[in-house]
Every structure is written in structure tokens, then in C-alpha cells.
Amino acid sequence: MKIAIDGPAGAGKSTLARRIAERLGILYVDTGAMYRALTWKALANKVNLKDKAELRNLAVRTDITLAYNMGQVRVFCDGTEVTDEIRSPEVSRWVPVVAADEEIRAIMVEKQQAIAREQSVVMDGRDIGLCVLPDADYKFYLTASLEERARRRAKELVKKGYKVNFQEVKEEIRERDKLDTERLVGPLTVLPDSIVIDTSDMSPDEVVSRVLSLIGEDGNVIQVS
Ligand code: CDP
Ligand code: CDP
């Protein structure tokens, strides 16, 4: 079973993916965490993010591991846990710049495909249906209004102890969506076979129920609308 979940920031992808994985007993792969971990390392090492050669050199020398523990994903970069650090506003700001590089994307896609070759997975990201799992059994495109997505992200940052300015969070998301959508390699896009779900007015529970009703626990499509 391969399930692809793509969509812009704050649409509810990881919340859905984690719960679907738990429900179906398959692996959840947070591909955004991989790009975030590399960005975190580049910032920590003061790498010039606009210098492609330097960045690519760093990417091939970096070991990123995702570990799964009671439904939570822990992220390790060269053996150091960076689960919390990779969610910082600074990493969020720079990650689309790192993720726009085609060689870095090739390295990440290769790693993600290797994981999916071994087992059933639900993966969330931007290019999962397009590049990583083009033959996925189901491709979902989650979205929500910019206002609602910014509200969700701001609430999360406050909970983590960051001082937030709502307009700044909204602008950061708008800018990141633009870079993710307009890049030449692996852009975020609705595919002809994507099932689009607008989660603006839906609770996480409602989104999970909708997806489960669309795929059925045995993986047969019951209804696609
Ligand atoms: O959680 P959120 O939606 O804010 O972002 P994420 O899934 O953690 O992804 C962070 C960033 O990584 C995205 O804005 C993209 O720039 C990049 N990314 C990507 O290019 N391709 C993926 N498959 C996943 C993430
Ligand atoms: O992965 P992505 O950036 O698409 O979104 P997320 O991290 O799953 O969700 C961002 C926040 O919105 C989380 O705190 C979720 O609990 C919340 N959320 C929500 O309020 N309603 C939904 N339908 C889905 C997520």
C-alpha cells in the first residue's frame, strides 16, 4: 500500500498521515523533515545557502534518519536529535531555498523511494504523487485557506514558546508556498489523479474519516468524489 499526501504548509498533511499510518499499521514518512534537517545543518554550519556546490557537498555528507516511536517521528541528523530544532521559523524560512535544488531533490527522492520499496507507506510532502510515488495507490492533495493555515501554524509556534506575529507567519507561508509551487523540479501541484480535500472547515478527525471512507481499510476504493 502506497499513499501520497501533498499540499501547502499547514493544510493538515502530517496530522492526517500520522493517523492514517497508525490506523492502517503502515509506516509514516515525513519527507519535509528530511529537507528541514538538511537546512538545519546548513544553517548550523553557516553554509552559504545560495552556493549550490557547497550545499550539494553538504547533502551527500549528511545522514538523516527518521525514527518512529509511539506515533511520533523523531528526526536525527548525523546522530544528533533535531526533532524540535527543525521546526524553527528560521529553518521554515530557508527550507524552500534548499529544496529548490535539483541535485538535492534527487538525493532525497532516492532515499524516500528506497524506504517505500521495502514496505507499505504513507508519505507526506510536496512532490510525493508527482516524483516519489508516481504509482501510489492513492494520491491526496490537502489544502485550506491561507488564513486558516497561518492560524494553525501560529498556534503551534505559540505552543512551542515562540513569539509570533500573525502577519509574519502568514507571509512566510505565502512565500514558501510560492517557492514550492513555482520551482522547476518537483513542484507542488494538483495531479490529474489527486483527490483534493479542502480542510479549512474540517477537524483532524473529520479529515481522517473522509480519507478512510475513500480508501476503505482494505484498500479498495469505495467512493471517489
Ligand atoms: O509542515 P509544513 O507543511 O510546514 O512543511 P514540511 O512538510 O515540513 O516541508 C518543509 C519544506 O520542505 C517545504 O516547504 C518544501 O520547501 C520542502 N519539501 C519539499 O520540497 N518536498 C517535499 N516532499 C517535502 C518538503
Ligand atoms: O503537515 P502540514 O503542515 O500540512 O499540517 P499539520 O502539521 O498536520 O497541521 C498543522 C496544525 O493544524 C496542527 O497543529 C494540526 O493539529 C492543525 N490541524 C487542524 O487544526 N485541522 C485539521 N484539519 C488539520 C490540522
pLDDT tens by residue, 171-196: 999 999 999 999 999 999 999 999 99
Looking at the predicted structure, is the pLDDT value of residue 42 above 60?
yes
208 lines ligand 1 (CB under 6 A): no
pLDDT band, residue 217 (cuts 50/70/90): low
203 lines ligand 2 (CB under 6 A): yes
Could you say which ligand is closest to the alpha carbon of residue 176? 1
The arrangement of secondary structure in 2-198, i.e. its CATH architecture, is 3-Layer(aba) Sandwich (3.40)
Q: What is the mean pLDDT of the chain?
A: 94
Q: What is the residue whose three cell numbers read 478527525?
A: 205
Ligand 2 pocket check: which of 72, 87, 126, 152 to mutate, most ligand atoms within 8 Å of Cβ? Answer: 152
Residue nearest to ligand 2 atom 9, measured at CA: 12
pLDDT band, residue 68 (cuts 50/70/90): confident
Residue nearest to ligand 1 atom 8, measured at CA: 32
Say if the ipTM goes beyond 0.95. yes
Residue stretches of the annotated binding site: 7-15
160 lines ligand 2 (CB under 6 A): no
